[in-house]
Amino acid sequence: MGDRDLRVSDVEREHVGRLLQRAVGLGMLSLGEFTERMDTALAAKTRGELNTVLVDLPGVRLVGQPVQAAPPPYAQPQPRYVTAHRMPMAPAMPGNVIRARLSSVERKGAWQVPPSMMINSLCGSVRLDFTQAVMSTQVVEIHVDDICGSLELIVPPEATVDMNSLDLVASSAETKVRNGPPIGPLHIIVHGRLRFSSVKAKHPFGTNWKRFLNGA
């Protein structure tokens, strides 16, 4: 049995998904091509099937491919499967890591909020409700790596949110709350990359109406 016939794992499929995400961010793939290749990668059962979505992407080092500064134009490297350790992972972040792959994730109620979080979403939606959350620090840092997804932050009336450091490509960032300084019990800093995605920060439904009734 050759390498191309070996079965692949979910970790290997996710690795290929990250390579495709990077290709979209660099403009090598359109959104339609990305969607088609992700469907193929998620359905792949062998290394040969999984490798078909990567063979025409430049800058990917393949297993067994020699490192050459300037290969001659006639040299055509034989396509082989790209193993997970070839793609450098993002630096580990302290605290929770939330991953959404073609799915939705929600945190609400009295959930424990770490000082730092990382959200990695691919065609998914993440909703974080901080109104009843248990906080360990005043300032919470959220690092986002999102492709074709959405992030929604529900914060208490006194909270502030800073989205000024986000890197957006064909994406939107909307905040309906104050952006600082951190004068209240909660200040959220959101940074990272969004590709074909959206992020929104807002108060719970009816907050402005309650302020109006209270004369605020």
pLDDT digits (tens, 9 = 90+) for 71-88: 444 444 444 444 333 333
pLDDT digits (tens, 9 = 90+) for 200-213: 999 987 555 444 44
pLDDT value at residue 6: 86
Percent of the chain with pLDDT over 70: 76
pLDDT at 25: 67
The model's pLDDT over 131-184, given as tens digits with 9 standing for 90+, comes to 999 998 888 999 999 999 999 999 998 899 999 989 999 899 999 999 877 777
Q: With H, G, I as helix, E, B as strand and everything else as coil, classify residue 41.
A: helix
C-alpha to C-alpha distance for 70 and 89, rounded to whole angstroms:
26
Distances (CA, A) of 91 to 88, 97, 162: 9, 12, 22
Mean pLDDT of 53-72: 58
Residue whose structure tokens are 């339609």: 32
Q: What local confidence, expressed as pLDDT, does residue 59 receive? A: 64
What is the average per-residue pLDDT within 53-70? 59
Which position has the higher pLDDT, 94 or 171? 171
